[in-house]
Amino acid sequence: MLLRHSFRRALAFLTIALLVSILPAALPRSSAAQPQLWGDKGTPFGVVAALGNRVRSDEIPAAVQLMREAGVQWQREEIFWDVVQKAPDGPFGWDGDGSGFYNYDFAIDAQTRAGIQILGLLDYNPAWFKGKNPTLDEWIDDWGDYVYATVARYGRERGQIKYWELWNEPNLAKSGYESGLYTVADFVRILEVGRAAAKAADPEAQIVMGGLASIWSEPPSPFHYDYFDYLDQVARLGGWNHIDIIAIHPYRPDAPEGDAWRRDQSLTFRQELDRLDGLIAYYGAKPVWLTELGWSTSSRWPGVDGDTQAFFLVRAYLIALAHPGIEKIFWYDFRNDTRPGAPYDRPVYDAGEVEFHYGLLNRTYPLDPNRADLRKPSFLAYRTMTDQLAGLSLQAVVREGEEGMFWYRFAGVGRRVDVIWRTGEGAPQLAIDCNCREALVRSWNGAVRHVVYSDGGQILLRPENLGAPLYLEYDPPLVEGGVRFDVTGHSLRGAFRRFWEANGGLARFGYPLTEELIEPESGNGRPRTVQYFERVRFEHFPELSGTPYEVQLTRLGDEALRRQGIDWRQLPGGGSENVPLECFYFAETARRICPPFSGAWQSGGGLDLVGLPLTEAFPVIAADGHTYTVQYFERARIEHHPVNQGTPAEIQLGLLGRELITTWGIAP
């Protein structure tokens, strides 16, 4: 009861000030609209995970680990009123119901300890009025108590949450009218009382207006509003005075750059945000958070395939970040959903249910970060986006749809990154004046495509795959604590340096062509630290630390054959019969290694570092007309050059790493 009286007393003092501030805003402004201000875009990357409600407590640490891997900066934690308080004037329960769910203390603490900032979402009518049709007057004071108690606990007392979203999608029938908000004025009262309670509990609290959802196909009604109309009415009724931030859920049935029909007009995502700007400017500039945005991978409309979801994610984030007032974007949602009430360990997948497939992660049990089937392509796209762009700021929009090309330029903390994609059928070649030595080109999922050495400070690029974003990082900064090689401008450190020095160094592996990088592991998408050298690619396995296999070599020989369109399994073998004594035969691949390749194979590291033979030795004609002999292995190509007979260059390891990723002047 003391908590209730504390809020009511604070509310009495705040009411007079609120009434005074509301009156001028009851009518629209007559002055000229003011342009929307440029927002604070320092930490824009959010997701909706609602860990307390959707992830069992024993799996919350794994969920937090995956959020950290993805580079999530913000998470929206929904704290249901009907869960934490069961009766009017009753106690509040923050530590779950014994089932492993609704332990908000544990969920919030786990995230804040991991450095993830939280947007608290407070919503829906009380447990004691579920299934009834009370007036707002019957529970509005109880709403204030709930907001006060929650903000006091996680805001003032624990300092874990300072931003609070009041209600969710009040413009939709299910979460507005059917949840006790019968008019727009009712929602404004929710904001008024909620802000007063939050500020009384924690003067530092910032209020985010309950996110308003897009309506594309259904006609507006007194119970189902287009969010532009709803927002306008909220402002006319004085709601502007009760919020610090506007929240929108701009779901779309098409691509972010698409021009979809919205009842009386067609709107691209950019046009939708421009229209929102005009409305906001009319009533007074406020920042905008997109507290839900996403595309489903369901098999039914409007679902898209996994790669398309990943492409749309990156493109939507970039378009939003390029808009002045947009500060944060929360992807909905972090993990695929299941049917309400389904056993947690037996989730319902239903490929055709749209609501189940918005996640970055597939629905699995258990939630094991090492599962090969866990990460969707969109997770890899999100992880790559945050890895490439976190801490940078938008410098310029170089192209915005001209010839179907989009080109955004970011910079900061000593790094420069461009993001480029195309939506047109044509793929024009772009001349990029980078004033750089080289550009590291990555695919949307983080895989390295090329290292392009510039020609007079310029490189040429032709985006290959329709809709797929490419990242270009110019002169990636050196990693501290390593040894630098002036020849390539890159460094070597840590486990990779120790392995390089202990196993042949420059003669065996060549110079480093990149710094240490994170790439997706083939087949499962798990992040793997790698580094490219002239002849090899190192992979780091920290889980094998202390063993000889902490650093391993990629199967670049296999990759080189595949890029030439060669399936080594279809090539004729040397046969197991009559194998010369000086040769080795390997039944696993039905191949032989004979001199002089056998000696080079052994000195180069044998099975561990060179691998099994994939081909027999065969002749190749060089560009200068000389003939030499090569043999491909899992991790290397060994070359015999008779023209260099008697010199160390007679037997060489091929420059597979350089051939795989480097190019001069133009990215092929």
Which two structure tokens, joined as six digits, stand for 666? Answer: 């133009």
> Count of CB atoms within 10 A of residue 140's CB?
16
Percent of the chain with pLDDT over 70: 94
> Residue 87's pLDDT is what?
96
Binned at pLDDT 50, 70 and 90, residue 2 comes out as very low
Cis upstream peptide for 366 (omega within 30°): yes
User: What was the pLDDT predicted at 25?
Assistant: 40
Query: What are the Cα distances from residue 180, in Å, to 159, 192, 207, 623?
Result: 31, 16, 21, 79
Low-confidence winner among 258-267, 425-434, 591-600 (lowest mean pLDDT): 258-267
pLDDT attached to residue 553? 97
pLDDT at 665 over 90: no
Q: Report the CATH architecture of 393-474.
A: Sandwich (2.60)
Domain range annotation of the chain: 2-389, 393-474, 483-554, 566-656
Report how far residue 571's alpha carbon sits from residue 557's, in angstroms, rounded to the nearest whole number: 15
Query: What is the structure's pLDDT at 31?
Result: 45
Angstrom distance (rounded) from CA 143 to CA 151: 12
Q: What is the average pLDDT across 396-423?
A: 96
The string of pLDDT tens digits covering residues 527-555 is 999 999 999 999 999 999 999 999 999 99
Q: Render pLDDT for 281-290 as a digit per residue (tens, 0 to 9).
A: 999 999 999 9
- Using DSSP's 3-state secondary structure scheme, residue 129 falls into helix
Q: H or E element: which one contains 380?
A: helix 377-389
Separation of alpha carbons 199 and 156, rounded Å: 10
Q: Residue 408: what pLDDT?
A: 98
pLDDT (mean) for 414-428: 94
pLDDT in tens, 200-244: 999 999 999 999 999 877 777 778 899 999 999 999 999 999 999
Please, which residues bridge with residue 638 across strands?
Answer: 631, 653
Confidence at residue 35, expressed as pLDDT on a 0 to 100 scale: 63
pLDDT score for 526: 96
pLDDT digits (tens, 9 = 90+) for 427-457: 889 999 999 999 999 999 999 999 999 999 9
Rounded to the nearest 10 degrees, how much is the dihedral formed by the CA atoms of 271, 275, 280, 286? -10
pLDDT at position 24 over 60: no
CATH class entry, domain 2-389: alpha beta
**How would residue 8 be classed by pLDDT, with cut points 50, 70 and 90?**
low
Vertex 229 angle, CA 228 and 230, to 5°: 90
Mean pLDDT, to the nearest integer, of 353-376? 97
**In whole numbers, what is the pLDDT of the chain averaged over residues?**
92
Listed in sequence order, the residues at least 6 apart from 656 whose beta carbon sits closer than 8 Å to its beta carbon are 535, 536, 556, 557, 559, 560, 636, 637
Q: Read off the pLDDT of residues 160-207 as tens digits, 9 standing for 90 and up.
A: 999 999 999 999 999 999 999 999 999 999 999 999 999 999 999 999
User: What are 635's two structure tokens?
Assistant: 């991790």
**Alpha carbon of residue 480 to chain centroid:** 26
Which pLDDT tens digit goes with each residue over 305-360? 999 999 999 999 999 999 999 999 999 999 999 999 899 999 999 999 999 999 99
The pLDDT of residue 20: 34
What is the rounded CA–CA span in Å between residue 169 and residue 250?
A: 11
Q: Determine the residue type at 344.
A: Y
* Average pLDDT of span 360-389: 97
Nearest CA to 611 out of 580, 586, 594, 628 is that of 586
Residue 430 to residue 634: CA distance in whole angstroms: 36
- The arithmetic mean of pLDDT across residues 261-285, rounded, is 89
**Tokens describing residue 567:** 């399936």
